[in-house]
Amino acid sequence: MAIHPIDYRYGTPEMRIIWSEEHRFTCLVRAEIALAHAEAEVGMIPAEDAKIIEQKALSASLMRAKEIEVEINHDTMAMIKAISEVCGDAGRWIHYGATSNDILDTATGLQLKDAFDVLEKKLIILVSVLLNRAEITKNLVCVSRTHGQQGVPTTYGLRFAIWASEISRHINRLREIRPRVVVGQMTGAVGTMAAMGTNGIEVQSAMMKYLEIGLVDVSCQVIARDRYAEYIFMLANIVTTLDKIGIETRSLQRTEIDEVEEMFGERQVGSSTMPHKRNPIKSEQVGGLSRIVRAMVEPALLNNTLWDERDLTNSSCERVIFPEATILCDHCLKLMTNVLENLVIKEENVRRNLLMLHGINLAESVMIELTHRGMPRQDAHEVVRESSMEALDQGKSLAEILSTKQGVIEYVSAEECENLLDPNAYTGLAEVQVDNLIRKLVTYYVP
């Protein structure tokens, strides 16, 4: 019986598999195989026994390990016994010199390695989608808003480019922290390597080389959890960007604004009682799930505050936060990529909103030109501010009000005012910035 929504509602198959109980067990077995291989390499155990372990260990059964755990109440030891059973006499060497977290944390490193691969691929796809939308809409002039009020014009292309730039930084962060996070250890009880004599450093190095992951410099019996806290924070940072994008698309889909819309299927239902509704449910879902991922940051930080060389308070917590945070982040990436790929932009409504204030939102353009032509900047600001307030109060265009101001027309004519209040003429270097970003990112992030 499924209980958690990840089991039946959220998550992609590829990420669910990585954090499944079956794959976790496989990673644990792989860690034990790698340990035997490394110990044979330095002469600690017979090479023929290591070969048998390598050939047979993966046939060990998760179900059998669970049966043993019921009897002994220790999951790691149950796994060790289950592997030993299928390896015959060679099984005597399973877990030789190791402590539980050597295997548990190394298995986590293997899972994180797979998770990083999936996340990076999807972030790159999202950057590609955003850059494509930026290119297509780089000349689509639209209303900007600060404090919820209209500002000077911007372009949809610049919006998409800003988001693409932010996602590219998440790719950089992912690549930067990967060597710190995707690691294993083989340091034995309390981290001294005493059980391996003088071979500990060589064994750890050979073991992680076999598994193709990094290794710790030192550890105390568990890998220090600052590494994992950094990973969880990265996930929280990613979903926060996705949430920000979703909030903007939701805002722009408001009936009163109506500039964009999530793709709505022909037979899709928006409400159980209001048949007309076309709700931005994907963006809203990202907003909701991002709260869950962000909530994982504090427990991830607290998992680093263990007693002495170790305690077990991190273990139960990590069984929850690793799969939940990663699967939900991956799910949000998929959702928001789908939203942006299929986002409908209603250009007629974009234009309608752009002209709504009859030039008042371009007051800066007139102020700048007045200053350029000789009026003191503060005087120019005040006369244009007063004119803007009059236009708003009287429901007139800014050009009409400005044409009555003698101090203004001494510097710019009524016709020039009209031109200065053309939104298409006041987008600055928005297009250039978009083109520059596309050139910069396409080399590194577009598949």
List residues with catalytic annotation: 147, 271
Q: Cα torsion at 146, 149, 150, 155 (round to 10°)?
A: 40
CA-CA distance, 234 to 176, in Å (whole number)? 11
Q: Identify which of 315, 334, 324 has the alpha carbon closest to the alpha carbon of residue 7.
A: 324
Tokens standing for residue 55: 């050939």
Tell me how long the chain is: 447
Q: Are 314 and 225 in contact (CB under 8 A)?
A: yes
What HEC string does 410-426 produce?
Answer: CCCCHHHHHHHCCHHHC
Q: Name, in order, each residue with C-beta under 8 angstroms of 300's C-beta and a sequence gap of 6 or more.
A: 225, 228, 229, 231, 232, 233, 321
340 residue type, one letter: L
User: CA 234, 14, 204, 214 torsion: positive or negative?
Assistant: negative
Instruction: Look at residues 441, 264, 447, 272 and name the one whose alpha carbon lies nearest to residue 339.
Output: 264
Residues sharing a CB contact under 8 Å with residue 360, sequence separation 6 or more, in sequence order: 150, 388, 391, 392, 397, 398
- The span from the CA of 232 to the CA of 325, in Å, is 7
Can you read off the two tokens belonging to residue 156?
A: 């949809």
Ranges of H-type helices in 62-220 = 62-72, 75-86, 100-136, 156-181, 200-211
Return the HEC string of 13-49: HHHHHHCCHHHHHHHHHHHHHHHHHHHHHCCCCCHHH
Q: Three-class SS of residue 214?
A: strand
CA torsion 332→335→339→341, rounded to 10°?
Answer: 110
Dist. CA 239–CA 400, nearest whole Å: 47
Containing H/E element for 278? Answer: none
Token code pair at residue 108: 């986590």
* φ and ψ of 43, to 5 deg: 85, 15
User: Within 13 Å and on the Cβ side, how many CA atoms surround 159?
Assistant: 23
Q: Which tokens sit at 155?
A: 């372009």
Instruction: State whether residue 154 is helix, strand or coil.
Output: strand
